[in-house]
Chains A and B, each alone.
Chain A
Amino acid sequence: MYVIVVGCGTTGIKVAEWLMASGAEVTLIEKIAEKQRLADNLLGSVVVLGDGTMIDTQNTAGTERAALFISTLSSDEDNMLACQIAKHHFEVDRTIAMSGNPDNAKLLSLLGIDIVVDVTELITEKIQSLVAPMLVEDL
């Protein structure tokens, strides 16, 4: 399976490493030259330098033959735009966007992003599950 990952932050790199270890073919997109170079050295010449929210960059990365597109940028707006280009211009089957804001997560789902990972909700749930037993002990 061919997968595009946008963003070489910690999440993008972790996700790409896991995908590659699982046998997927992965190309990453990173617009900051220094981060692109570091990730390219780490993962082995699979990182395209460019803005993942632009059609030209996605074209260079070969998005038209991707089965899965994952956007891990820190801006919800940018993840929305990247995924909508992948979906509507390159007709990628499945798009995944990270979202830091629960309201945005709802909007992104409504706008047709296939899977929206609501980071705030994930962290909140994790904290709740860790803290809940402590509250019981306190009683």
Chain B
Amino acid sequence: MIQTSDGNLNSGVQRLKRIAVIGCGSLGTQIAIELSSSGNIVIVIDKDPKSFSALPTHLLESSRVVTAIGDGTQEVSLRQAGVQDVDLLIAATTRASVNLMSGQLARHVMRIPLVVCLVNDSKLLSIYENLGIKVINPDNLLMEAIKSGLD
């Protein structure tokens, strides 16, 4: 099960959190910007160096965001990127299976305390919560936001 409580993440500043983000698509880019702007160090990993182009230069120049070319499902790539000692890993590629493999590798082999996988299938949530992975469904969140906007 998940060992780090969510409360820990939100309980303000003790020290800089180191966060890994797998996949630098539109979601990964947005996550990296948000989390680095709120004072964390973010390592972004993607197979395709072109994917980093949407990251703001000031975050890269100040080393708030660090990029690494690699395959998030491979331990070698994660270690080369310096992911072994992050506090949190977020797997945010467009493929659920890639996110879940990367997430389980990070959680169960590399012992990263908190792992979040983005998966657009809510039915998978309970399976992977039981396997120690937190699953977030971006489509669901979007639908809820739209619905609440219509109320």
The contact of A78 among B97, B127, B131, by CB within 8 Å, is B97
Pick the interface stretch among A28-36, A38-46, A80-88.
A80-88
Distance between A105 CB and nearest chain B CB, rounded to angstroms:
12
B105 contact set on A, CB distance < 8 A: 107
Instruction: State which residues 15-64 of A face B: CB under 8 Å.
Output: 53-56
Residues of A within 8 A of B (CB): 53-56, 75-78, 80-81, 84-85, 88-89, 103-104, 107, 110-111
A77 touches B100 (CB 8 A): yes
A88, B127: Cβ atoms closer than 8 Å? yes
In the docked arrangement, what's the CA distance between A20 and B74, Å?
36
Q: Jot down 15 A-B pairs with beta carbons below 8 A, ordered by A.
A: A54-B121, A55-B121, A55-B124, A77-B98, A77-B101, A78-B97, A80-B97, A81-B100, A84-B127, A85-B124, A88-B127, A88-B131, A103-B74, A103-B75, A107-B109
| Cβ contacts under 8 Å, A103 to chain B | 74-76
B130 contacts partner chain A, Cβ-Cβ < 8 Å: yes
Q: A56-B123, A77-B101, A81-B101 are in contact. List 16 more A-B contacts (CB 8 A).
A: A55-B121, A55-B123, A55-B124, A77-B98, A81-B97, A81-B100, A84-B127, A84-B131, A85-B124, A85-B127, A88-B127, A103-B76, A104-B73, A107-B109, A110-B109, A111-B108
The smallest beta-carbon distance between A43 and chain B, in angstroms, is 26
Q: Closest Cβ of chain A: how far from B43's Cβ, in Å?
A: 21
B104 close to A (CB within 8 Å): yes
Say yes or no: A77-B75 contact (C-beta < 8 A), given A54-B121, A88-B130: no
Of all chain A residues, which has the CB nearest B105? Answer: A107
The bracket for how many chain B residues form the interface is 20 to 34
- Are B97 and A110 in touch, CB under 8 angstroms? no
CB 8 Å contact bits of B107-151 with A (1 = contact, 0 = none): 011000000000001011001001100000000000000000000
Q: Is A80 a contact of B101 with CB atoms below 8 Å?
A: yes
CB pair B95–A77 under 8 Å, yes or no, is yes
B55 within 8 Å of A by Cβ? no
Residue from the set A103, A104, A107 with the largest chain B CB neighbour count within 10 Å: A107
Residues of B within 8 A of A84 (CB): 100, 127, 131
